Amino acid sequence: MTQLDLAALDATAHRASLTQRRRQRNARVEPRGAREHTARERVEMLVDAGSFVEIAPLRTADGQGTGVVTGWGLVEGRGVVVIAHDAAVASGAIGAVFADAVVKAQRLGIDRGFPIVYLNDSGGARVPDGVFALHGCGEIFTQNVLAQRRVPQISVILGPCAGAAAYSPALTDWTIMVKGHGHMFLTGPDIVKAATGEDATADEIGGSQLHTVKSGVAHLEVPDEAAALAETRRLLSFLPSHAGAPMPFTEPVGPAPEAADALPFVVPEKASVVFDMNRVLDGVLDEGERFELMPQHARSVLTVLGRLDGRPVGIIANQPGARGGILDSAASVKAARFVEFCSRFGLPVLTFVDVPGFLPGTVEEGRGVITHGAKLLKAYIESSAPVLTVVVRKAYGGAYIAMGAKSLGADFQWAWSNAEIAVMGPGGAVTLLHRRALAAADDPIALRDELAAEYREEVARPYIAAESGIVDDVIVPEETRGRLSDALRMLTAGQG
Amino acid sequence: MIAARADIVANVWKIVVREGDPVNAGDELAVLESMKMEIPVIAPSGGYVVRIPVDEGQIVQEGDVVVEIDGTPGV
């Protein structure tokens, strides 16, 4: 058939009608307000160039489309399902048809094993749709939960997200918010004012600072839409497409030579002196990209995706450089969530321990630190992914257990030779154990220091733990990478 | 006015600066003791120390002001 024949065909009525419908549906509607990109443009920015295929592109609720762009594309050559709210249609409000389109895309991801990325920009349920809108929102939540055991889910908050548009992200794995534009709240400022009389701005009720620093509802704050979509791609690069799928390996590389050389000197001898745990990670992990989740929330514990021998791993580490590296309610929830995520997708959990304990006191007990700390215990106990734990300095009390101890099912646990593992720190322990001798002493402070030094050497040093088999071995820092690497090779043999 | 605050319930162990001292962002202003850890209080931005509302040995709660800074960074 010649070009001329084809052109003639295009003029036939049915072809012209299709062309017309497609043009109408894909017409670019100028983004509203401060938005820079339309829903389709956002999707195109997320996936590999030219790879997006829309599901049911002609579907419509009231002649304007469904209000949501759904489909699939490739990210670094791997399939992902994308669901992008279209704020140009009824403020992206979720109606019955919209919800059904979302559910169909979610089912594609779940049934065929592709990660689901939600680009959220929606005022919540569409009011005129009444109970049909609410029913649809509930169905989206149901698929969010069903997807949890099957595929990674990432929510990106690109505009004001109220009600259902804020709840769905809470049922997904990771939420990325654009500073100044992304908001998440049950209801916006006007309804808050009407309901309770409280005067608050959108930023105060649901801005990215509130959620990435204080509430922990969102897990990463980015400056703009392009960064949000780039970070989503980067996050996906550490994750398998679905539970049980092969891991996305990269070329194995060692740590940066200067970081590896510095490793034996990173941790200060004196247990009370703070340091940056990132330097330990630098000296052990593959050099190159890492992805820290919740970097601004509960900073006394680090949750990081990184690589060892090119294999993606999840790293939990106390951060002595922030609040002394303590565990509290927020840090426990953050760490538990991360361990649980790694377990679902088979990412080995590497735990680096230097913890002074659970923060005690009225404030923390009032926040329910017992319940929240228990979530961390449970996450480790239930982990089906390999768990490897390294005690790099001190590990006292319940916090020793909670940081991936052997008793919770760690596959292997090692301690550096300067480590201290005990029910409590030397100071507290001798005060308790030698109360009478200290009361009778001429110089109680000198006696206390002497007893504390004795306790540190005789009770807290890791040899007792190693001789009893509770830690697998006592090692020096520069042996860490080799031990982790050997263990992972064995534990993951036969897997992707 | 910029406040350097305690980020954890603690005992004020050492105050490193005095009122009137110039400081740069990142400087250590005081050291708190909590959970047997020496936790530094760092200047969030530069300026002059205008007020130190706590004494060594005092207990501070999370969020309490330890040092107040005002003025232009560095000297």
SS (H, E, C) chain A: CCHHHHHHHHCCHHHHHHHHHHHHHHCCCCCCCCCCCCHHHHHHHHCCCCCCEECCCCCCCCCCCCCEEEEEEEECCEEEEEEEECCCCHHHCECHHHHHHHHHHHHHHHHHCCCEEEEECCCCECHHHHHHHHHHHHHHHHHHHHHHCCCCEEEEECCEEECHHHHHHHCCCEEEEECCCCEEECCCHHHHHHHHCCCCCHHHHHCHHHHHHHHCCCCEEECCHHHHHHHHHHHHCCCCCCCCCCCCCCCCCCCCHHHHHHHHHCCCCCCCCCCCCHHHHHHHCCCCCCEEECCCCCCCEEEEEEEECCEEEEEEEECCCCHHHCECHHHHHHHHHHHHHHHHCCCCEEEEEEECCECCCHHHHHCCHHHHHHHHHHHHHHCCCCEEEEEEEEEEHHHHHHCCCHHHCCCEEEEECCCEEECCCHHHHHHHHCHHHHHHCCCHHHHHHHHHHHHHHHHHCHHHHHHCCCCCEEECHHHHHHHHHHHHHHHCCCCC
A188 touches B: beta carbon within 8 Å: no
Pair (A151, A296) in one structural domain: no
Indicate if the pLDDT at residue A495 is higher than 90: no
Give the pLDDT mean for A234-263.
97
∠ Cα A207 A209 A212 (to 5°) = 105
Cβ burial, residue A330 (10 Å; 0-12/13-18/19+): buried
What is the rounded average pLDDT of the residues A395-410?
96
Asked whether residue A447 is domain-assigned, the answer is no
Query: Is there a single domain that holds both residue A71 and residue A152?
Result: yes
Same-domain check for residues A380 and A477? yes
Same domain, A230 and A283: no
Closest CB to A363 among B7, B34, B62: B62
- Tell me if A245 is assigned to some domain: no
Inform me whether the pLDDT recorded for A349 exceeds 90: yes
The pair of structure tokens assigned to A230 is 């780039």
Rounded distance between C-alpha atoms, residue A416 and residue A496, angstroms: 31
Q: What is the DSSP string of B4-51?
A: EE-SSSEEEEEE---TT-EE-TT-EEEEEEETTEEEEEE-SS-EEEEE
The pLDDT-based confidence of A221 (bands split at 50, 70, 90) is: very high
**pLDDT range class, residue B17, cuts 50, 70, 90:** very high
Any B CB within 8 A of A359 CB: yes
Chain A residues within an 8 Å CB radius of B9: 359, 361, 363
CA A363 to chain B, closest CA, distance in angstroms equals: 9
Cross-chain Cβ contact B62/A320 below 8 Å:
no
pLDDT of residue A89: 87
**Greatest Cα-to-Cα distance within chain A, rounded to the nearest angstrom:** 109
Q: Are residues A269 and A224 in the same domain?
A: no
A397 lies within 8 A of chain B by CB: no
Mean pLDDT score, A476-489: 98
In a shared domain, residues A280 and A211: no
The per-residue pLDDT of chain B, averaged, comes to 92
Which of helix, strand or coil describes residue B72?
coil
The whole-angstrom distance between B27's CA and the closest CA on chain A is: 14
| Residues A136, A230 within the same domain | yes
How far A356 CA sits from the closest chain B CA (Å)?
A: 6
What pLDDT, in 10s, does the model give residues A3-16? 767 777 777 888 88
Checking if the pLDDT of A131 tops 60, the result is yes
How far A125 CA sits from the closest chain B CA (Å)? 38
What's the whole-number mean pLDDT along residues A481-495? Answer: 93
From A176, A205, A236, give the residue that closes a domain. Answer: A236
Q: What is the CATH number of the domain that holds A403?
A: 3.90.226.10
Residue in A271, A324, A428 nearest the CB of B34? A324
- Distance from C-alpha of A317 to C-alpha of A333, rounded to nearest angstrom: 14
| A117 contacts A154 by C-beta, under 8 angstroms | yes
Contact of A79 with A109, CB cutoff 8 Å = no
Least CB-CB distance to B9: which of A271, A273, A363? A363
Give the distance, in angstroms, between the CA of residue A388 and the centroid of all CA atoms in the same chain. 19
CA distances from A465 to A229, A270, A357, A419 (A): 47, 20, 18, 11
Spatial contact of A236 and A283, defined as CB atoms under 8 Å apart: no
Per-residue pLDDT tens digits for B35-64: 989 999 999 999 999 999 999 999 999 999
Same domain, A263 and A228: no
Q: Do residues A372 and A335 touch, judged by C-beta distance below 8 A?
A: no
Q: Sign of dihedral through CA atoms A102, A105, A110, A111?
A: positive
Yes or no: domain B2-70 corresponds to CATH 3.90.1210.10: no
Q: How close A398 comes to chain B (CA, Å)?
A: 14
- Residue A14 CA to residue A26 CA, distance in Å, equals 18
Least confident of A123-137, A238-252, A367-381, A442-456: A442-456
Condensed to tens digits (0 to 9), the pLDDT of residues A77-93 reads 999 999 999 998 888 99
- B8 and A325: CB-CB below 8 Å? no
Domain that holds residue A37: 30-236
Q: What is the mean pLDDT of residues A369-398?
A: 97
CA distances from A460 to A95, A257, A446, A478 (A): 61, 32, 20, 22
Distance of alpha carbon A71 from alpha carbon A169, whole angstroms:
18
Using an 8 Å CB-CB cutoff, list chain B residues near A322.
Answer: 7
pLDDT score at A142: 98
Domains of chain A: total: 2
Judged against a pLDDT cut of 70, whether residue A284 lies above it is answered with yes
**A419-430: pLDDT as tens digits:** 999 888 888 888
Q: Residue B73: its pLDDT value, please?
A: 52
Average pLDDT over residues A215-220: 98
- What's the whole-number average pLDDT of chain A? 94
Query: Taking the CB of residue A59, how many other CB atoms lie within 10 A of it?
Result: 17
Give the pLDDT confidence score for residue A350 in this predicted structure. Answer: 98
Q: Considering the domain boundaries, does residue A79 fall inside one?
A: yes
Interchain contact A68–B (C-beta under 8 A) = no
For residue A320, the chain B residues in CB contact (below 8 A) are: 37
Q: What is the pLDDT of residue A295?
A: 98
The angle subtended at Cα B26 by Cα B21 and Cα B31, nearest 5°, is: 75
Better-scored residue on pLDDT, A18 or A73? A73
Question: Residue A348 carries which side chain, given as an amino acid letter?
Answer: P
Is B35:A326 a contact under the CB 8 Å cutoff?
yes
A335 phi/psi in degrees, rounded to 5 = -70, -40
Provide, as residue numbers in chain A, all residues whose Cβ is less than 8 Å from the Cβ of B39: 274, 323-324
- The chain B residue lying nearest A425, using CA atoms, is B36
Is B38–A274 a contact, with Cβ atoms under 8 angstroms apart? Answer: yes
* Beta carbons of B40 and A274 less than 8 Å apart: yes
Query: Which of B13, B35, B60 to mutate to test binding with chain A, by most A CBs within 10 Å of its CB?
Result: B35
Q: What are phi and psi of A282, to 5 degrees?
A: -55, -40
By C-alpha distance, which of A294, A256, A4, A338 is closest to A175?
Answer: A294
Does any domain span residue A444? no
Q: Please tell me whether residues A283 and A205 are part of one structural domain.
A: no
Q: Do A74 and A216 share a structural domain?
A: yes
- Report how far residue A166's alpha carbon sits from residue A224's, in angstroms, rounded to the nearest whole number: 19
Q: Is residue A59 part of a domain?
A: yes
C-beta atoms surrounding A328 within 10 Å: 24
Last residue of a domain, one of A236, A271, A300: A236
Q: Is-contact A485 A308, C-beta < 8 A?
A: yes
**Are A375 and A382 within 8 A, CB to CB?**
no
Same domain, A349 and A305: yes
Query: Hey, is B65 helix, strand or coil?
Result: strand
Q: Does B28 touch chain A (CB under 8 A)?
A: no
Q: What is the mean pLDDT of residues A110-136?
A: 95
Q: A496 falls in which pLDDT band (50, 70, 90)?
A: low
Q: Which residues pair with residue B2 across a beta bridge?
A: B69
Residue A279 has a pLDDT of 98
> What is the structure's pLDDT at A36?
86
- Of the listed ranges A298-307, A428-437, A479-488, B42-51, the least confidently predicted one is A428-437
pLDDT at A429: 87
Residue of A273, A357, A363 with shortest CB distance to B35:
A357
What pLDDT was estimated at residue B75? 43
B26–A contact, CB cutoff 8 A: no
Q: Is the pLDDT of residue A416 over 60?
A: yes
pTM: 0.93
pLDDT at A12: 84
- Taking CA–CA distances from A361, the nearest residue in chain B reads B9
- Residue-wise pLDDT for A439-482, tens only, equals 999 998 899 889 988 888 888 889 999 999 999 999 999 999 99
- B8 at A interface, C-beta within 8 A: yes
Q: What are phi and psi of A152, to 5 degrees?
A: -65, 145
Q: What is the pLDDT of residue A25?
A: 83
Place of tokens 């002649």: A63
Split at pLDDT 50, 70, 90, the class of A61 is confident
Judge whether residue B74 has pLDDT over 70: no
pLDDT confidence of residue A1: 61
Both A227 and A269 in one domain: the answer is no
